[in-house]
Amino acid sequence: DAGVTQSPTHLIKTRGQQVTLRCSPISGHKSVSWYQQVLGQGPQFIFQYYEKEERGRGNFPDRFSARQFPNYSSELNVNALLLGDSALYLCASSKTGVDRYNEQFFGPGTRLTVL
Amino acid sequence: LAKTTQPISMDSYEGQEVNITCSHNNIATNDYITWYQQFPSQGPRFIIQGYKTKVTNEVASLFIPADRKSSTLSLPRVSLSDTAVYYCLVGDFSGGYNKLIFGAGTRLAVHP
């Protein structure tokens, strides 16, 4: 079975631009979470979606938004890019996301560079 | 804020057993302890999860004392390919959903 897939692999943008990152979860998984990982740090939670509804949001500005589609794939949008948004953006899928011991499976990430 | 504390880095040699200890003094009664492994430019990979005592799978063992305020990930006979960052996490179920709160992790370097 295919794992979590993300696109694009790499992306270069300039300050002020907008970016959309895409994620396809493992088949049968209904929950998608997004994480930002700055170089040298652990991933930081951004959003979780389950059954197309936002279940949780981390401490990120409103420039960050996301949505989940009927097929459970997801998009992360970042507006008005700042240099500090340069990071590896990770998508993780799980069966429900509402189970205390539900394993989250991560994709390979999208490397965003803001110049 | 991460609920766990673990060493920033560790060094080992091929064939040795590596034990990484994680402190989680404020773990809640219902929290599980989970370990992830991450290679450069890849997403984290689930290694093992436990609630109490000892859990073992084909990759690692997880030892959790009775007070659950710490846990130890044990990697038997490491190889060069085990060089990675290892994250210890405890569950964060506030809000009714499971989100992962990562700390800085432990950078394990395995030498020939």
pLDDT tens, residue by residue, B14-69: 999 999 999 998 888 878 899 999 998 899 999 999 998 899 999 999 999 999 99
Provide the residue-wise pLDDT of chain A in tens; the chain has 115 residues: 689 999 999 999 999 999 999 999 999 999 999 999 999 899 999 999 988 999 889 999 999 999 999 999 999 999 999 999 999 999 999 887 666 566 889 999 999 999 9
CA distance B103 to B101: 7
Domains of chain B (ranges; CATH) run: 9-111 (2.60.40.10)
Nearest Cα to Cα of residue B87 among B44, B40, B50, B30: B44
The DSSP symbol for A25 reads P
Cβ separation of A101 and B95 shorter than 8 Å?
Answer: no
**Is the residue at A104 inside a domain?**
no
**Residue corresponding to tokens 């205390």:** A100
**Is the residue at A64 inside a domain?**
yes
- The total number of structural domains that make up chain A: 1
**Is the residue at A113 inside a domain?**
no
Q: Which domain holds residue A47?
A: 5-98
**Is the residue at A65 inside a domain?**
yes
Mean pLDDT is lowest, of A22-36, B1-15, B75-89, for B1-15
3-state helix, strand, coil in chain A (%, to 5): 5, 50, 50
**A36: which chain B residues are within 8 Å (Cβ-Cβ)?**
none
**Is the residue at A12 inside a domain?**
yes
Most B CBs within 10 Å, among A46, A98, A106, A112, to test the B interface: A106
Q: Please, how many CA atoms are within 13 Å of residue A30, restricted to the half-sphere of its CB?
A: 12
CB contact A100 to B (< 8 Å): yes
**Is the residue at A115 inside a domain?**
no
Q: Is the pLDDT of residue B8 over 60?
A: yes
Contact A47, A33 (CB under 8 A): yes
A42: closest chain B residue by CA? B104
Cβ separation of B97 and A107 shorter than 8 Å?
Answer: no
**Is the residue at A55 inside a domain?**
yes
At A45, which CATH number?
2.60.40.10
**Is the residue at A114 inside a domain?**
no
**B99 → closest Cβ in A42, A45, A90:** A45
Residues 56-95 of A with CB under 8 A from B: 56, 58, 88, 90-92, 94
